[in-house]
Chain A
Amino acid sequence: DVKVTQSSRYLVKRTGEKVFLECVQDMDHENMFWYRQDPGLGLRLIYFSYDVKMKEKGDIPEGYSVSREKKERFSLILESASTNQTSMYLCASSFRGDYQPQHFGDGTRLSIL
């Protein structure tokens, strides 16, 4: 069974802090993704990665960066957290190729005070 593990279920940080959200998958997936999930807005893609050290911007990359130094790990970084980044953050991974579904982690509920 695919396992996508996010390092924290709940996180509280202060405005201006640098925040790291970690995600690890154990299925040797090439692709990894970071989304934020907000009521009424669905899932919005922040960044994704096709391979180690590769990254692509999604729909809402502003205020975020990512790092993928190893195939199994994809980190989301909030450079200087702001209150409008309070949200649920979801990590996902998938194999490359047609019809490959994404597998999601449990999510990290991040609150910026």
Chain B
Amino acid sequence: SQTIHQWPATLVQPVGSPLSLECTVEGTSNPNLYWYRQAAGRGLQLLFYSVGIGQISSEVPQNLSASRPQDRQFILSSKKLLLSDSGFYLCAWSPGASGTDTQYFGPGTRLTVL
């Protein structure tokens, strides 16, 4: 069966510090991968998605970046965090590019920027 992991589960970082969040998927190959951010009291905002290794599409211009160094690994990074980067970060995968595909979500990372 497929599983998705995210770490760390929680993170407290000072403004201006770097960020690296990792997401890995097991039990499948060539998944579509997604990074979402959920701010308090708001819906999900799609940040990045990837349909293959090295293929990253950005939905919202900001100080975050994403990389996919391996087929089932998706990394979210920042060189300098802002207060507004605080939120709940969710990684998700889907089997392919079909609109009927279910997305499977990881447990999330709670990021607090102070």
Chains A and B belong together in one complex: no
Residues of A at the B interface (CB closer than 8 Å) are none
